[in-house]
Amino acid sequence: MAEQPGTERIEGDNAEHARLPTDTDDGLVVIISGPSGVGKTTITRGVERGTRGSVFSVSVTTRAKTEADVEGVDYSFLSDDEFDRLVADDALLEWADVFGKRYGTPRAWVDEQLKRGRVVILEIDVDGARQVKSRLPEALGIFILPPSEEELLRRLRDRKRESEELIQRRFSEAKTEIAAARAGAIYDAFIVNEVLEDAIAEALRLVRTARGRRAAER
């Protein structure tokens, strides 16, 4: 598997304990989830831009690379055998099978970024968040909600890139995902994305608070 962007390589016997001048003690995993159409990707990017030392986790996948994809930026593309080895070695923080194609978060890369004091942002679904929380209970889980079901349906339609049948399927899946998020003890905070700038500001506040707490614990 190709080395993920932003990974610093330190050679020698003391590699595990070596520190860089930019290293800090407030590393944090931030999970951001939410249904299609809620604006979670825009909020995720806002958190990434507004947080010092943040990195966006790049998933590995077995799906085919398209012309628009950039290796190591959009995804790291693996064969089925390579993905099988990661699963067998317990090398993924979380993974899922989506319509026959698998996606996962490399554990070693996340661990390295945490040692460096980075804020590692994972944009994943409820099941992935549940897997990560079981391994890293100190991770900050944020779920993005729409102002209402009616507004979510309107936003899905306003994208104007899917049939009404598919929109209704996504709407049904969104309601199921929201119910699952509320029912499980996975997320530390729920943010209603009514005004985008306010939602980003609230997410940034949550990250700063959690990061400060992590630094104090060290």
Fold of 28-217: Rossmann fold (3.40.50)
What is the pLDDT, as a whole number, of residue 215? 73
Residue 6: predicted pLDDT: 39
Rounded to the nearest 5°, which phi and psi values hold at 52? Answer: -60, 135
**121-157 per-position pLDDT tens digit:** 999 999 999 999 999 999 999 999 999 999 999 999 9
Cα 93 from Cα 153, distance rounded (Å): 32
Percent over 70 (pLDDT), the chain: 92
- Comparing 198 with 36, the larger pLDDT belongs to 198
CA distance 60 to 1: 9
Predicted model pTM: 0.84
pLDDT tens, residue by residue, 2-22: 344 433 433 444 445 577 777
How many CA atoms lie within 13 Å of 67's alpha carbon, on the beta-carbon side?
0
Write out pLDDT tens, residues 86-102.
999 999 999 999 878 99
Under DSSP, the state recorded for 106 is E
pLDDT score, position 17: 52
Q: Domain boundaries in the chain?
A: 28-217
- pLDDT of amino acid 9: 38
Range with lowest mean pLDDT among 44-48, 76-80, 161-165: 161-165
For the chain, the average pLDDT equals: 89
